[in-house]
Chain A
């Protein structure tokens, strides 16, 4: 079954850290760029980061640059987001998402999301 399953969300204090994971199955993970996208409560969708199929190209939204690190392990079919120096405004549901073809920049396959809450 072609799917993405996120995990690792939870409650964390401001300034804290959290690592999200996204497990891919049913397709050749190493063929695709992968993305993290988030939705804050009551807000719209916000693209967070993208990593190329081999991991050598990485892009971030300005809002997370220098605090978040995207990575992947193609042997484990897994995508990660290390989130440091978390702020209240990082509270959101975080989705991993895959394009329909290797390096396309739109999102055909999405996970169900994992909730990150940053609060004291």
Chain B
């Protein structure tokens, strides 16, 4: 099984900040890496698939990069609606696995 490790597990940031979240895979997942935003009480939302492809309708301040075992999600110019928990997920092999999540809080 591919284990996904996210860091940090939480962070505090201010409106307008640039935030970077890292996701590491225990073995290569090529670019089969996806990012989700989850706000409590709502369904998770797919932000980025294939490591760097932005989903339609997702603001361009979100970006993803990486391949193999190390990936990053960057949010530039953090907005109030971006305070949420973010998860990475590998889709390279079953069992499909998620990272533990990164909670982005308001400083």
- Residues on A lying within 8 angstroms of B by beta carbon are 35, 44-47, 50, 59-62, 95, 100, 104-108, 110-113
Q: How many A-B Cβ pairs are below 8 Å?
A: 57
Q: Determine if B95 and A62 form an interchain contact, defined as CB atoms under 8 angstroms apart.
A: yes
- Residues on B lying within 8 angstroms of A by beta carbon are 1, 32, 34, 36, 38, 42-46, 49, 55, 85, 87, 89, 91, 94-101
Q: Determine if A61 and B43 form an interchain contact, defined as CB atoms under 8 angstroms apart.
A: no
Bound: A61/B38 CA distance, A: 22
Do most interface residues of chain B lie in helix, strand or loop, or is the interface mixed? loop
Q: Determine if B95 and A61 form an interchain contact, defined as CB atoms under 8 angstroms apart.
A: yes
If the complex has contacts A44-B87, A45-B44, A107-B44, are A100 and B96 also in contact, measured as CB distance less than 8 A?
Answer: no
Residues of B within 8 A of A95 (CB): 43-44
A45's nearest neighbour on chain B, judged by CB, is B98
Q: Determine if A105 and B100 form an interchain contact, defined as CB atoms under 8 angstroms apart.
A: no
Q: Determine if B38 and A45 form an interchain contact, defined as CB atoms under 8 angstroms apart.
A: yes
Bound: A100/B98 CA distance, A: 18
- Other contacts beyond A59-B94, A62-B95, A104-B49: 16, CB < 8 A: A44-B98, A46-B98, A47-B89, A47-B97, A47-B98, A50-B94, A59-B95, A95-B43, A95-B44, A100-B49, A105-B91, A106-B46, A106-B91, A107-B46, A107-B89, A110-B44
Bound: A59/B95 CA distance, A: 8
B42's nearest neighbour on chain A, judged by CB, is A112
Q: Which 10 A-B pairs have the closest CB atoms?
A: A105-B91, A110-B43, A106-B34, A47-B96, A44-B101, A45-B98, A59-B94, A106-B91, A44-B100, A108-B46
B100's nearest neighbour on chain A, judged by CB, is A44
Bound: A95/B46 CA distance, A: 14
Bound: A61/B43 CA distance, A: 21
